[in-house]
Structures are given as C-alpha cells and as structure tokens.
Amino acid sequence: MEDCKLCMLVTFFLIITKMVATGKYIPTTLEGPFDPVTIRFDPSLRQGSDDIPMDDPRLKKNVTSMFPEQIALALSTPTSMWVSWVTGDAQIGSNVTALDPTSVASEVWYGKESGKYTNKKTGNATVYSQLYLFEGLLNYTSGIIHHVRIDGLEPGTKYYYKCGDSSLPAMSDEHVFETLLLPGPNSYPRRIALIGDLGLTSNSSTTIDHLTRNDPSLILMVGDLTYANQYLTTGGKGVPCFSCAFPDAPIRETYQPRWDGWGRFMKPLISRVPMMVIEGNHEIEPQVAGITFKSYLTRFAVPAEESGSNTNFYYSFDAGGVHVIMLGAYVDYNSTGAQYAWLKEDLHKVDRMVTPWLVAAMHPPWYNSYSSHYQEFECMRLEMEELLYQYGVDIIFSGHVHAYERMNRVYNYTLHACGPVYITVGDGGNIEKVDVDHADDPGKCPSEGHNIPEFGGVCHLNFSSGPAKGKFCWDRQPEWSAFRESSFGHGILEVLNSTYALWTWHRNQDIYKEESSGDQLYIVRQPELCSPSTSLKVIFHFNIRELLFNSLFYFSCGKRIEVSLKRDPMRLSKERKQKKVQRYLQNGRGFCHCSS
Ligand SMILES: *[C@@H]1O[C@H](CO)[C@@H](O)[C@H](O)[C@H]1NC(C)=O
Ligand SMILES: *[C@@H]1O[C@H](CO)[C@@H](O)[C@H](O)[C@H]1NC(C)=O
Ligand SMILES: *[C@@H]1O[C@H](CO)[C@@H](O)[C@H](O)[C@H]1NC(C)=O
Ligand SMILES: *[C@@H]1O[C@H](CO)[C@@H](O)[C@H](O)[C@H]1NC(C)=O
Ligand SMILES: *[C@@H]1O[C@H](CO)[C@@H](O)[C@H](O)[C@H]1NC(C)=O
Ligand SMILES: *[C@@H]1O[C@H](CO)[C@@H](O)[C@H](O)[C@H]1NC(C)=O
Ligand SMILES: *[C@@H]1O[C@H](CO)[C@@H](O)[C@H](O)[C@H]1NC(C)=O
Ligand SMILES: *[C@@H]1O[C@H](CO)[C@@H](O)[C@H](O)[C@H]1NC(C)=O
Ligand SMILES: *[C@@H]1O[C@H](CO)[C@@H](O)[C@H](O)[C@H]1NC(C)=O
Ligand SMILES: [Fe+2]
C-alpha cells in the first residue's frame, strides 16, 4: 500500500513537471524540492544605471521652510500608525548649526472623512548630525524629523490626514491611507511588497514605479535604502572616487542630503502605504566618535517599543494574520545576547491560531549561492537558524545580494519539508549593479578573506555531506537553491488563507501587468506536518529525488517510525531498515524532526 502511495506521488510529480513546462500552471512548494534553475543576466540590458541627480524634480524640496515634506507611514500596532515627516532646512558644509526641534510642533489631524479631522495627535521631533573631522569632508545636520503615533484606528478603514504645525500655520496637504485588518486567521493584507537594496538610480525608479502599480497595502524594505554612502558626489565635490580624492580620510564620508532626496522620492508611495524598514550595511554610516546608524535610527519610526524591543535594530509587528519579525544583522545576534532573548520571547508569544503566518526578514541572506556575500553571515545562521526553525517560521526574506534567488525549503543546509522558504530580493536597482556571478561558476568561488561581514564574525564552512562534501563551494547550483536570476525587480506576497500564499517576483524588464512574471509559486504551509504540535510526532524528511534514487520510502504514524524500502531484495528486518535510515540521517542527507 505504501508503495502505491509512492507511485501516486511520483505520477503527480511528473504531471506537475509537465504542467510547469507548458507555462500556465503555478507550482506549489508541496511539489518541491525543485530542480535548481539559473537564469543568467540578459546581456541586452545594462547591468546598472546612473544615480538620479540631486536636482531632479522628484528629489528637490518643494515646500517652503517649515511646511512638512518627506511624509512617511509605518505600522505601529494593528490599531495605530506612525506618521513621520521633516520640516526646516538641512545644512551641509562647514559650521553647520543644528536646528531646534522644539521650534516646530508635531501634529497629525485625521479622520474617516476627507476634510473632517475628528482626531488630533501630537508627537516628538528630533534632529541628527553627521560629522567628520577630516579636512575637506562636509558636516551635515538634518531638518527637524517628526514622529507621531496616531491611534484608535479601525481596521480596513480609510483615514484622511494632515500633518505639521497648525500654529505657524504650516500643515501639509491632505493624505490618505487604509488600515490593515486586525490579526486573525482569515484576514490578510491584500498585497505585501518586498524590496531590498533600492538606492536611487533610474533602475530604482523603475522598481518603485512597477511596485506602485502593483498597489501594495504594505511594503517590507529589507535594508540598504539610499546608498547615500556611495553617492557619486561624495565629498561634496563630485568626486567619482572617494578613496582617490581622500586617501587618508579615516572614515568614508556619506552624502546625507541623499537621504532627504530619497525621502522626497519615496513620499508619493509611502505617505499612503506603510513601509517597514530594517537596517542594512549601507545604513552603518560611521561618523565622529564612533557613532553609527544615525540616519536610520533617527529618520524611521518602527514598532520597537510596541513589540518589546528596546532598539530600532530589531522589532516585530502583525499585518493581519501575518506576524512579521525584522531581525538585525548589524547588532549582536548571538544566542547569549539581547536580540536573541527578545526573539525567543517574541516567537513564544505568537499565537498561530491568530497569526498563522510567521515571516522573518533581515538584510543579509543565510542561504545564497551567488559569489557576492557568499556565506558572509554564516555566524548569524549558526546562532539563530535553529530557533526560527523550531518555531516554524514560514518565509525568510533578505536582500544584500543584488539579484533574485528563491530557495527550496531548507534547514541547516539540508533539504527539509518543514524548513522555511528563503527568498533574496536585493534586486532593487542600486548603483552597485546586478550581481551576476555564482559561487559555483568556474573560478568564481570566493577565496578566504572575501565576504567578510561588516558586523560579527566569520564562520565560513565546508559542507559536511552531499555533492559539495568537504568543499566551500559547489560545482553546480546547490540543491537548496531552487531558482536564481540576475535581474532587478521586486516581490509581491499575497496571503490567500492560513495555508496558501502566492509569491510573485516581478522583473523590471517586464512590462507591468504583462502576463509574465520572473518567478511565481504558491508557498504552502503544512501546519499538521510541521508545527510544533501537541502530540508527539516523529517525521523523516528526505530530498525526494534522493529518496527515489535510493528507493527509500518513509512514512510516519504517531509515535512509531516505520521505514520500508521500495525494492527490498535483502528482505531487511525492521531494525536493519531503521538503522539504514539512521545512517542516512547521520550522513546529513535527510532530517529527523521530533516535536512534542
Ligand atoms: C537599468 O536602467 C537602465 C536605464 O534605464 C537600463 O538601460 C538598464 O537595462 C537597466 N538595467 C536593468 C538590469 O534592469
Ligand atoms: C515637486 O513638484 C513637482 C510639480 O508638481 C513634482 O513633479 C515633483 O514630483 C515634486 N517633488 C517633490 C519632491 O515633491
Ligand atoms: C565638523 O564637525 C566636527 C565636530 O564638531 C568639527 O570638529 C569639524 O571641524 C567640522 N568640520 C567642518 C568642515 O566644519
Ligand atoms: C558659525 O555659525 C554660527 C551660527 O550661524 C555663527 O554665529 C558663527 O559666527 C559661525 N562661525 C564661523 C567660524 O563661521
Ligand atoms: C515623546 O517623548 C517623550 C519623552 O521623551 C516620551 O515620553 C513620549 O512617549 C514620546 N512620544 C511619542 C509619541 O513618541
Ligand atoms: C558572539 O559570540 C562570538 C563567539 O562566542 C564572540 O566572538 C563575539 O564577540 C560575540 N559577539 C557579540 C556582539 O557579543
Ligand atoms: C547542522 O549540520 C552540521 C553539519 O552536518 C551538524 O554538525 C550540526 O549539528 C547541525 N546542526 C543542527 C542544529 O542540527
Ligand atoms: C575547505 O575546503 C577548502 C578546499 O575547498 C580547503 O582549502 C579549506 O582548508 C577547507 N576548510 C576547512 C575549514 O576545512
Ligand atoms: C487555501 O486556499 C487553497 C487554494 O485556494 C485551498 O486549496 C485550500 O483548501 C485553502 N485552505 C484553507 C485552510 O482554507
Ligand atoms: Fe547590503
């Protein structure tokens, strides 16, 4: 009977493969693991594009001094929202003087009807400076940055709002947003957009243009936002090469007005759709006195306090029935540290009956087969992967690598039916161009000393089993990498119900709403198989292809593990079969997951 089940599985598998080939059918993760697919960079495209200049109308300040600009939204709790904006003039040069943040009030007026603001909230304002001690580098001090938390919001409701200081008077035009639904197993955001490593080039502009037309209800921005530290006019002098112009400068200057330009560029989108950010390495931005991350920490309001985190470097929130955890890769992630303790507590508090979906995001990927940043954050994976796996995290998004890659379900570098789906979307279009080399391409395996993280240790490791056993790089696309393509784009996650979500990756070179997508599949949760359930279950998971190859078949039933071989000429005893499976597991080719 078991053999018969297997036959059916194989037949199903073959049918699916055919349907995928004909191009209409949308596969599901249930059919995984998929054979690895690589799409190389299309040489008819340019690998990158120039930065949008500061005098572009989309980047220039349009309002007079104390009127709000760079208006942005971020989720707080399911019934509250952060509204942020900037007033006053930033300064760059020598002898900059910080503005007084108490000189302008922070008010938001809002209500359910256009022009009728039944509620009013006030908040706080602050400024920050980016200072350098080196001759020729320019100091910067920001405009006044306002953050106001508005609350008492009803779910799935449109709110009209204005922000500013009514006493000056200097209030903004009216803006509108729609709240998400309350957490619940049947209420999901219409579309969650994913972007990473965006920058501010004409490619970034295409990405945002396409993303906007996809009409998301929430945006997750997985780090490396503006590339203010790569802007060509670094040094304020239009120098194309910073290290050539300032060979002795102890710190690389960042061009902070780029953040203001980016805030203006993003405003049409993020003043009506909340955007959730997490820090990337381009946000580090070192300055005098060892200060880092000043712009990231000051400009963005995030639900840190709301989620029990005491820092904007990591936090979590609910978006309907999706609990999202934003992890900090550039702050202590060790299992002995504060972030890990917070993460454990946060995971523990998640009620999967209320938020069935558990999504995590961080800037650098743990699973990545491109040469760029290959195994760069192995230390973080070693510290945190097990915890995320134990709590059954469904999807883990990252950026950092400037290309697209979707992994087969994987845990500890082993294909695993209950591992998370990892997706890299660092393909926003920044100035550093598309990543095109794979670690498995001849001559492209990064050498030791490469891919050193900007934070944390180096834990590069050689694989202990499989085709790359004993080696640092594979000689082909690794089995855990399902699909990779060197193109710019963005992703859209549409959660349909408590077990199905449609993931679509849109490429910049495709015309919007053309019937094409770069990558599309249903991500399917299997809570009965994978959740830490109450009844004791022992489940074996194997790479299906290996399984067939070895004619080994598994099934689980309650507490007993039964293993049979499809072809069993030796007529092995049950004990021998179990031993064989044990060995199979010890070789690291399968995985045993026990939950109680
Ligand atoms: C980036 O944008 C430029 C100019 O718009 C275009 O020529 C190029 O092909 C784009 N590159 C990619 C990878 O999309
Ligand atoms: C400034 O106004 C012009 C004309 O209305 C518009 O095209 C541009 O996008 C605006 N820029 C900003 C930063 O709001
Ligand atoms: C920048 O600020 C630092 C610290 O206040 C100061 O020492 C330095 O002289 C300033 N540089 C310029 C160019 O004004
Ligand atoms: C620096 O700016 C302040 C305030 O604008 C001014 O009082 C002071 O004289 C300036 N100092 C120099 C050296 O320019
Ligand atoms: C504003 O700052 C005060 C004091 O730092 C703090 O108690 C309050 O919670 C802040 N309000 C908001 C809306 O952040
Ligand atoms: C994390 O742990 C490693 C190994 O124990 C240690 O070398 C490193 O300093 C720790 N990092 C932090 C930020 O505590
Ligand atoms: C992950 O795999 C490595 C190498 O096979 C093994 O040493 C380690 O114990 C595994 N870790 C976990 C958490 O299973
Ligand atoms: C990993 O394998 C490489 C060869 O691919 C070898 O040079 C290196 O020493 C190995 N490293 C470890 C830690 O075993
Ligand atoms: C979720 O949606 C899928 C696809 O429409 C459907 O097959 C499945 O039965 C649904 N599951 C639940 C729990 O509603
Ligand atoms: Fe990065």
pLDDT of residue 160: 98
542 occurs within a structural domain: yes
Q: State in Å: Cα 412 to ligand 7 middle.
A: 6
* 373 is known as an active-site residue: yes
Burial (Cβ within 10 Å: 0-12, 13-18, ≥19) of residue 143? buried
CA dist 122 and 274 (Å) reads 19
Pick from 35, 122, 74, 523: nearest CA to 296: 74
CA distance 189 to 182: 10
Q: Is residue 565 part of a domain?
A: yes
| Predicted local confidence at residue 585, as pLDDT | 52
Question: Tell me: the pLDDT tens digits for 156-169?
Answer: 999 999 999 999 99
Please tell me the distance between residue 83's alpha carbon and the centre of ligand 9 in angstroms.
36
Pocket test residue of 461, 462, 474 for ligand 8, highest count of atoms within 8 A of CB: 462
> Comparing C-alpha atoms, which of 62, 415, 471 is closest to residue 268?
62
262-288 pLDDT, tens digit per residue, is 999 999 999 999 999 999 999 999 999
Query: Tokens 């499976």 appear where?
Result: 581
**CA pair distance 67, 163, nearest whole angstrom:** 9
Comparing CA positions, the residue from 439, 473, 459, 461 lying closest to residue 370 is 439
pTM of the model as a whole: 0.88
Total number of domains in the chain: 1
Distance from C-alpha of 213 to C-alpha of 228, rounded to nearest angstrom? 26
The answer to the question of residue 454 being in a domain is no
Q: Which atom of ligand 5 is nearest to the CA of 122?
A: 13
266: left (phi over 0), alpha (psi -120 to 50) or beta: alpha
Report yes or no: 418 and 38 within 8 Å, Cβ to Cβ. no
Give the number of the atom of ligand 1 that is nearest the alpha carbon of residue 509.
14
**Nearest C-alpha to atom 10 of ligand 8 is from which residue?**
462
In-domain check, residue 537: yes
Q: Is residue 198 part of a domain?
A: no
Which pLDDT belongs to residue 8? Answer: 47
User: Is the distance from the beta carbon of residue 176 to the nearest atom of ligand 9 less than 6 Å?
Assistant: no
Helix (H) or strand (E) holding 579: helix 574-586
Residue 244 confidence (pLDDT): 82
Which tens digits make up the pLDDT trace of 194-234?
999 999 999 999 999 999 999 999 999 999 999 999 887 66
* Catalytic pick among 175, 210, 282, 373: 373
- Residues 107, 146: Cα–Cα separation, whole Å: 9
Has residue 591 been placed in a domain?
A: yes
pLDDT tens per residue, range 324-368: 999 999 999 999 999 999 999 999 999 999 999 999 999 999 999
Statement: residue 374 has pLDDT above 70: yes
Which structural domain, as residue segments, surrounds residue 592? 533-596
User: For the stretch 26-56, what's the b/e string if a residue is b when 16 or more beta carbons lie within 10 angstroms of its beta carbon?
Assistant: ebebebbbbebebeebeeebeebbebbeeee
Q: Is residue 553 part of a domain?
A: yes
| Cα 385 from Cα 195, distance rounded (Å) | 22
CA–CA distances in Å: residue 78 to residues 74, 371, 412? 11, 40, 34
Reported as a single tens digit per residue, the pLDDT across 494-548 is 999 999 999 999 999 998 666 678 999 999 999 999 866 433 333 444 443 333 3
Residue 547 falls inside a structural domain: yes
